Structure 1
């Protein structure tokens, strides 16, 4: 059991060609499958956004825990969906964190620590191929 911090809900109707709404109404969007024309959201975009925000927050927490000041960063999460076997689908994920004001050795240590902290990382660990990448933040 986990010690609950927060619980929320969202409801989908119509699958990948339908609609998703959160219980607080802030997420209230039509969704389309990958490759659909025009501007749209799909589950992979929402997953990538949630993972990126959560992982970036784990970076912030790690920097505080390790008492590292003056570093700036941004986190990008790439989500790829593909077929594992006939009619079985899965993800591959790349998490890229760009840092300024931090040497690459320390940056890699921060990312590894954050990867242990992030709930998305913990949810996917052992189930999804996740690659971590660190680079220099260029403004």
Structure 2
């Protein structure tokens, strides 16, 4: 590995109907599989991935905007879909990033969104592995 800045740790037990907890205890969640339609309350891996991706992408977006001397306010809604994968009869995920940017034109929002996608560590990790759709919107 290259120069590690920090490492985050979480432990999962019981799979999609189990439990996940971070080593510092800040994340301590029951997991449920929404596809089971059991009505049980809890989180799921896609929800956790959506939260992480949205936060990481928003950080990348603000970094890129700052480097281009743009003052923005932004919010990212990450929709992570769990889908059947016809290639192997298994499952896969796809992501839509709904990117709201205040303080720029629509054209600038699109440019910033693409640049942030090129820079974001989550985007780099998923590139070529899952479909990610960017939906930038100047608000």
Structures share fold, TM-score greater than 0.5:
yes
Aligned position for 2:10: 10
List per-residue Cα deviations over 1:56-79 (Å, max 9, x = no partner).
11111111111112x211111100
> Is the 2:32–2:40 contact (alpha carbons within 8 Å) kept by the matching residues of 1?
no
Superposition deviation, residue 39 in structure 1: 3.3
How many residue pairs are counted as aligned between the two chains?
136
> Which position in structure 2 is the counterpart of 1:19?
19
Partner of 2:137, secondary structure, is strand
TM-fit CA distance, 1:38: 4.6
Q: Does 1:112 align with 2:114?
A: yes
Q: What CA RMSD, in Å, does the superposition of the two structures yield over aligned residues? A: 1.4
Q: Displacement, 1:40?
A: 1.7
Structure 2 residue runs of 5 or longer lacking an equivalent are: none
2:130 alignment partner in structure 1: 128
Equivalent residue for 1:95, pick from 94, 97, 110: 97
Distance 2:39 2:51 in 1: 20
Could you tell me how far apart the structure 2 residues matched to 1:100 and 1:59 are? 12
- The 2-side partners of 1:77 and 1:30 are apart by 21
Whole-angstrom CA distance in 2 between matches of 1:11 and 1:100: 37
> SS at the partner of 2:47?
helix
Q: If the length of structure 2 is used for normalisation, what is the TM-score?
A: 0.91
- TM-score, normalised with respect to structure 1: 0.91
Which residue of structure 2 lines up, in the alignment, with residue 58 of structure 1?
60
**Distance between the aligned counterparts of 1:106 and 1:72, measured in 2?**
13
